[in-house]
Amino acid sequence: MVEAPTYQGVNGTIVTYSVIYVPTPEFAGEAPYVLAVLQLSDGERLLARLPFAEDAPLEIGATVAYDHTDQHGPVFRLT
Amino acid sequence: MRAIEIVGIAETKFGKAEGSFRELAVQAAQAALEDAGAHPAQVEALFLGTFSPGTFIKQEHVAPLIASELGLNNVPSSRLENACASGSTAFLSGVMAIAAGAYDAVLIVGAEKMTSTPIGETTSILAEAADWENESSVGLTFPGAYALMARAYMHKYGKDRAFLDAVAIKNHHNAMGNPYAQFHREITREDIAKSVMIADPLNLYDCSPVSDGAAAVLLVASDVADRFDKPGIRLLGFGQASDSLALYKRENLTSLPAAQHAAERAYKMAGVGVDDIDFAEVHDCFTIAEVMATEDLGFFGKGEGSDAVLAGATGRDGKIPVNPSGGLKAKGHPVGATGVSQIVESSFQLRGEAGERQIEGAEIGLTHNVGGSGATCVVTILGKAE
């Protein structure tokens, strides 16, 4: 089995994002959540989740850092 | 290339239909044959565009199913799948077969039965048209993909969402004149402001609905067109292009490069320019998609499609009427049927048979059908009978 890539210590910026309110059944109970296209510091582009918070300063250009990986993949957070 | 014409057209009323997948497909196909004054024995091959009958209705191998239900007997039949561009991909397969000289007359059918599936499952099935490993498994939905583009567009060009509202209001208005449309209801900015958020910034009224429906065309070589009753609508040009399934891998998130490539090929083949197009049926699966389409097709400059819809330039009496049928947004979007329906609607216009939605004096029309978030795009340019 191929090892999932690790993003430990990786930072990036938000290229664009959406808050998903109506997810697929696999994500039922997790919505709303933020999905963002990230430009990572190592040059990679990635689609990843961020936790949703009503008052978070979510915007294009905001900086993010890797937080953890769950069953659906890597999760980043605003920095 | 061998000259090709559309001599028979039909579609079912889109929406939640009583009929099954096969009943809808057969109904549209038989009506298209009848429209042309054609007998099933004159059909030499069937090309069926459909996205996911295996998951929607637990039925694969659908092309011979429909061929046999139509009594086409032993003719070749094939099913084409390119997500929401399945219908136009089936159409182009028929075009290629006639152009190659393999057949003189082929039947193109597009169909989808979506409403018998629970809505959550439908969201999941549609997400299978994205890059599963890198997008859908991470939590992306189809509205989510277009929301990523809408956000990028609004940020890049400094727009609020008023232009998205304008697309939905216009297309609901246009659908009032289309007896085949799913919705016959005007909507207002107030309705939109009160609607539920699906994938921010897109709300319910930014999204095309879940629909059942079918559409069909009888496509023939011009050299045999006089065997049929109706004046043929001429295929002037076409283009198809591909891109990455995954949206995030693209450098530009505010237009669809595949649409630009497909359009460029279609214009070149047809020998016409943007200014020659009298109307367009474009793939407004989400409101933002229509605005990007009007820019990708060259009707407006980058970032200017948003102001154009607000100014009424894409309305029925505007500079370039876009989606006089009501579009996917209000006519409905039975995925596999959509590409064929755009060609049917354009043919109604070019015959002068579009009733209340008729664009006066229409001579050249364009269709733009997109699969996924832009991984497939098919553009056709059609002209009225000479």
Calculate how close chain B gets to A1, using CA atoms only, in Å.
Answer: 15
Inspect the interface and report whether the beta carbons of A18 and B200 lie closer than 8 Å: yes
Alpha helices by DSSP H, listed for B134-211, are: 142-157, 162-175, 189-194
pTM for the predicted model, two decimal places: 0.98
Sort out which chain A residues have CB atoms less than 8 A from B248's CB and list them: 15, 37, 45-47
What is the spatial distance between Cα B25 and Cα B15, in angstroms, rounded to a whole number? Answer: 14
C-alpha triplet B329, B334, B338: angle, nearest 5°:
75
- By Cβ distance, the residue of A24, A49, A73 closest to B141 is A24
B256 contacts B148 by C-beta, under 8 angstroms: no
Choosing from B261, B283, B333, B368, which is the catalytic residue? B333
Is B333 a known active-site residue? Answer: yes
Q: How confident is the model at residue A1 (pLDDT cuts 50, 70, 90)?
A: very low
Sort out which chain A residues have CB atoms less than 8 A from B199's CB and list them: 18-22
Look at the block and give the residue holding tokens 């891109």.
B243
Confidence at residue A4, expressed as pLDDT on a 0 to 100 scale: 60
- By Cβ distance, the residue of A25, A35, A60 closest to B140 is A35
Choosing from B84, B207, B285, B377, which is the catalytic residue? B84
Kindly provide the ipTM of the predicted complex, given to two decimals.
0.95
C-alpha triplet B166, B172, B178: angle, nearest 5°:
140
Q: Cβ of B158 under 8 Å from any chain A Cβ?
A: no
Inspect the interface and report whether the beta carbons of A72 and B144 lie closer than 8 Å: no
Sort out which chain A residues have CB atoms less than 8 A from B151's CB and list them: 16-18, 60
Q: Which residues contact B226 (CB under 8 A, 6 or more apart)?
A: none
Per-residue model confidence as pLDDT tens digits over A4-47: 668 999 999 999 999 999 999 999 999 999 999 999 998 999 99
- By Cβ distance, the residue of B120, B140, B196 closest to A47 is B140
First to last CA, chain B: 18
Mean pLDDT for each consecutive 10-residue tract of chain B (386 residues)? 97 98 98 98 98 97 98 96 98 98 98 94 93 95 97 98 98 98 98 98 98 98 96 97 97 97 98 98 98 98 98 98 98 98 98 97 98 98 94
- By Cβ distance, the residue of B144, B201, B248 closest to A46 is B248
Q: Which residues contact B206 (CB under 8 A, 6 or more apart)?
A: B143, B146, B150, B164, B168, B198, B286, B287, B288
Sort out which chain B residues have CB atoms less than 8 A from A16's CB and list them: 148-149, 151-152, 155, 253
Q: Cβ of B132 under 8 Å from any chain A Cβ?
A: no
Calculate how close chain A gets to B205, using CA atoms only, in Å.
Answer: 14
Calculate how close chain A gets to B48, using CA atoms only, in Å.
Answer: 28
